[in-house]
Amino acid sequence: MKVFLTGGTGFIGCHVLRSLLNSGFTVRALRRTSYSKTPIELSLEPEWCEGSLDKIEPGWLRGVDVIIHLAAAGVTPKLCTWEELIQVNILGASKLIQMAAESRVKRFIAIGTSHEYGSSAEGYTKIPPNAPLKPINTYSASKAAAFHMMRSLAIEAKIEFFYGRIFTAYGEGQFARNFWPSLRDAALKGEDFPMTSGKQITDFVPVEQVASQILHACTRNDLKKGIPFVLNIGSGKARSLLEFAESEWIRLNARGRLLPKSLPDRANQVYRLVPDLQGLEMG
């Protein structure tokens, strides 16, 4: 099976890329330049295509069975303009799925974020995949808009369309300023770790589990042409941020102290973001 992958040099993308290669898939992956590196080491290399999402050449999709679209702009805490969010997250994704249809690619896999649910999460103990999307920041709004565009285009073109919303992924290769890498860095250095109240509850999922679910999406047999398949991706274990921090602090044998409530909570915080994992095949 031949796969075309975008976002392969990103945090989640590099784990998906490694899983694909180690599982025997033929992979053609997009990167900006030859200097773009994956944040984790690969024992095998894909066929790299160099360019941007808006300049994908049709020949790159020749013979491809599955497209996995992971590239995105503005992933927290990285900042970008709303113009970049529209250009990459909405227009880039829409163009790619149109090209998939023109190239007769059988299956299109795209990945979103749990934050697309936004304030809608307040109405659910566990958020179902068909819950209304009410994002509360521009990044999440651009991802929600991209989902609606890709979903409609997949229906029109009768493509098999899989869309997974990831909850709180963490692990090796994550951007250094994200919560888990910052926590691990402080633990390994023996330093105290200041944090917010940590009372927000969500599903913390190891990135390896996320990659496994995306890999499975390439071959699962319950997708049908023109009928979008949407699910949440998580571990099935809801915890507060503080509970997660405490368990990792112990696992990492930290010598410093956790300092909850030493930083203010973010404005417009959603305090419960827990997924209903219907449709997810837990391994």
Tens digits of per-residue pLDDT, 67-78? 999 999 988 777
pLDDT for 34: 79
pLDDT band at 254 (very low <50, low <70, confident <90, very high): very high
Instruction: Output the pTM of the full model.
Output: 0.95
Q: Which fold is adopted by the domain 179-201+237-273?
A: UDP-galactose 4-epimerase; domain 1 (3.90.25)
Cα distance between residue 133 and residue 151, in whole Å? 14
For the chain, domain boundaries: 2-170+204-233, 179-201+237-273
How does strand 201-206 pair with strand 238-240?
A: antiparallel
Q: Which fold is adopted by the domain 2-170+204-233?
A: Rossmann fold (3.40.50)
Task: Give mean pLDDT, residues 102-121.
Answer: 97
- DSSP summary character for residue 93: H
Tens digits of per-residue pLDDT, 195-218? 999 999 999 999 999 999 999 999
Tens digits of per-residue pLDDT, 227-251? 999 999 999 999 999 999 999 999 9
- Kindly report the average pLDDT of the chain as a whole number: 95
Go through the chain and tell me how many residues it has.
283
Beta-carbon contacts of residue 29 (< 8 Å; ≥ 6 apart): 4, 5, 6, 8, 17, 46, 47, 48, 49
Task: Give mean pLDDT, residues 25-50.
Answer: 93
pLDDT for 141: 96
In this predicted structure, the answer to whether residue 283 has a pLDDT above a threshold of 60 is no
Tens digits of per-residue pLDDT, 138-187? 999 999 999 999 999 999 999 999 999 999 999 999 999 999 999 999 99
pLDDT for 218: 97
What percent of the chain has a predicted confidence (pLDDT) above 70? Answer: 99
Task: Give mean pLDDT, residues 74-83.
Answer: 85
Helices (H), the chain: 11-22, 82-84, 93-102, 138-157, 179-189, 207-217, 241-251
pLDDT for 78: 77
